Amino acid sequence: MMVSFFDQFASPSFLGIPLIAVAIALPWVLFPTPPSRWMNSRLITVQTWLMNRFTNQLMMPLNVGGHKWALLLASLMMFLITVNMLGLLPYTFTPTTQLSLNMGFAVPLWLATVIIGMRNQPTVALGHLLPEGTPIPLIPVLIIIETISLFIRPLALGVRLTANLTAGHLLIQLIATAVFVLMPMMPTVAILTAAVLFLLTLLEVAVAMIQAYVFVLLLSLYLQENI
């Protein structure tokens, strides 16, 4: 029986229990916990340094009110990076290839930024719907366009993350299948294809980290507009 390339994106289950819950909970188990000693381990030291650099870079454009989101955004980025990286291992499932999960992250956080803007500065928040100096005949059209673009933001967040990871996994599977098919017939071509597969895997590692960073960065930009 032929197996579809898209079967790898189906949520697996064991004894009727969806294993996506295990895939989501696993990254938190892998994070190192600070020891009781005065000196931390090298892993915790590197992790702390990276988190501090990322938090400083992310919070720099925001005012003091936006710094309350530092823990949430940093934790979200670490979670997305870990899930994306674990999904590159063989025989694993990547939860972030599911649009429902990504939308579950994108919609509440985007809605929280909008609610904060409407509560703290409603005039400025509504002012984003109508650029300054707009001709009077274009006002209704621009308000409709800006409103649509506002509500498309969470959809764009979720679709961007899902599409990039799904495309990468499909390319890896297609090229890996080509390597196995070509190996008995054309070994030289198969070796060259395997080299391309290795380079593509390195690219996907970078994509896994970059997409997590872009997801959180866009959320911070939406927050910046509303505080």
Q: Which of 146, 104, 115 is nearest to 227 (CA)?
A: 115
Per-residue pLDDT tens for 39-83? 667 777 887 888 888 888 888 877 777 788 888 888 888 889 888
- At residue 57, the pLDDT reads 82
Reported residue count of the chain is 227
Q: Which residue has the higher pLDDT, 178 or 47?
A: 178
Q: Cα 73 to the chain's mean position, in Å?
A: 11
Q: Compute, in degrees rounded to 10, the torsion defined by CA atoms 30, 35, 38, 39.
A: -30
- Residue 227 pairs in a beta bridge with none
pTM to 2 decimal places: 0.82
- Residue 86 CA to residue 23 CA, distance in Å, equals 9
- The phi and psi torsions of 33 (rounded to 5 degrees) equal -100, 140
- At residue 34, the pLDDT reads 64
Characterize 170-202 residue by residue with b for buried, 16 or more Cβ atoms within 10 angstroms of its Cβ, and e for exposed: ebbeebbebbeebeeeeeeebeebbeebeebee
**What's the pLDDT band for 32 if we cut at 50, 70, 90?**
low
Per-residue pLDDT tens for 108-161? 999 999 998 888 888 877 777 777 777 888 788 888 888 898 899 999 999 999
For the chain, which residues make up each domain, given as ranges?
Answer: 1-226
- Residue 17 pairs in a beta bridge with 14
Amino acid code (one letter) for 47 = Q
